[in-house]
């Protein structure tokens, strides 16, 4: 492929609410010349003809509760045991505020330190919400 950079191969797994898989691979076009083309495979369960709407996570929990299935419910002793482990950690964090911890705003692309870590290896994050273009994300300093 002369004078044109190839796109990276991507595999994006969408979990919820539109479960599906998107994959883009670069493949050689038929013929003698070395030319690459993007091949896109996109499957979304909700786009399928005749697909029924999947129950939400809460609907699953209510159904499990009605059936008496305790699999996704914690017993009181489990919760208490978990807090015995977690509570001292929270108290330690509250008493010793770290000045170099890479905090970031909720809903943002994450801390700038994450992008810097990847940049050291000449890598970068991709915006999975832009599956067609798979643009690189630039993480703003928080």
pLDDT at 141: 39
pLDDT at 84: 97
pLDDT band at 134 (very low <50, low <70, confident <90, very high): very low
Total of domains in the chain: 1
Asked if the structure places residue 49 within a domain, the reply is yes
| Structural domain contains residue 20 | yes
Q: Which domain holds residue 47?
A: 1-53
Please give, one letter per residue, the 3-state secondary structure of 50-99.
Answer: CCCCCCCHHHHHHHHHHHCCCCCCCCHHHHHHHHHHHHHHHHHHHHCCCC
pLDDT at 72 > cutoff 90: no
- For residue range 76-106, list pLDDT tens digits in order: 999 999 999 999 999 998 898 777 888 888 8
pLDDT of the residue at 110: 85
Top pLDDT among 28 and 129 is at 28
Mean pLDDT of 36-48: 79
The model's pTM is 0.43
Question: Is 124 inside any structural domain?
Answer: no
Distance (Å, rounded) from C-alpha 1 to C-alpha 28?
9
């Amino acid at each position: 492929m002369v004078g044109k950079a190839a796109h990276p191969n991507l595999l994006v797994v969408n979990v919820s609410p539109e479960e599906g898989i998107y994959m883009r691979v670069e493949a050689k076009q038929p013929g003698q010349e070395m030319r690459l083309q993007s091949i896109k495979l996109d499957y979304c369960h909700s786009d399928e003809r005749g697909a029924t709407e999947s129950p939400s996570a809460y609907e699953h929990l209510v159904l499990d509760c009605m059936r008496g299935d305790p699999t996704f419910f914690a017993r009181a002793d489990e919760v208490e045991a978990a807090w015995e482990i977690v509570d001292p950690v929270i108290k330690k964090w509250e008493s010793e505020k770290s000045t170099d911890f890479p905090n970031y705003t909720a809903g943002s692309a994450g801390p700038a330190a994450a992008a810097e870590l990847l940049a050291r290896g000449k890598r970068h994050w991709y915006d999975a919400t832009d599956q067609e273009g798979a643009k690189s994300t630039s993480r703003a300093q928080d």
